[in-house]
């Protein structure tokens, strides 16, 4: 996921058919990709939140949680994507003790690093 986030961050921010949603950050992510009531929309909307905030997991989760539709699922997916990309160090220190199964996730992540 790290290469995908980096590659997308390098894309131009002028509107085109492939970058239109990226170029209009004032609109809610769900406006571009759907409200997340079906899996494809939840996935796309969460990815848009991640792509808008690739280095700030808290902002990505917040954006997902405050968008229209199935916001809890969108926020959870955004958090999962950025957790996979950044690992435990990407989260605020005071969150580390509140992440469920953090020790198991860290062990699993170390296997893939």
Cβ(82)–Cβ(57) below 8 Å: yes
* pLDDT score at 54: 92
- H-helix or E-strand spanning residue 100: none
- Determine the Cα–Cα distance for residues 42 and 60; give it in Å rounded to an integer: 14
User: Tens digit of pLDDT per residue, the chain (113 long)?
Assistant: 555 555 555 554 444 444 444 444 567 776 677 777 888 889 999 999 999 999 999 999 999 999 888 899 999 999 999 988 888 888 898 887 788 888 888 888 888 77
78 close to 50: Cβ distance less than 8 angstroms:
yes
Q: Is 28 helix (H, G, I), strand (E, B) or coil?
A: coil
CB-count burial class (<10 Å; 0-12, 13-18, 19+) for 107: exposed
């Amino acid at each position: 996921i790290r290469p995908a986030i980096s590659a997308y961050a390098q894309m131009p921010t002028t509107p085109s058919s492939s970058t239109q949603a990226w170029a209009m950050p004032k609109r809610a992510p769900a406006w571009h990709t759907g409200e997340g009531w079906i899996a494809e929309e939840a996935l796309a909307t969460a990815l848009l939140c991640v792509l808008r905030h690739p280095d700030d997991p808290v902002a990505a989760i917040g954006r997902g949680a405050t968008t229209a539709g199935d916001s809890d699922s969108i926020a959870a997916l955004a958090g999962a994507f950025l957790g996979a990309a950044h690992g435990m160090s990407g989260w605020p220190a005071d969150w580390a003790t509140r992440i469920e199964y953090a020790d198991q996730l860290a062990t699993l992540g170390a296997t893939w690093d």
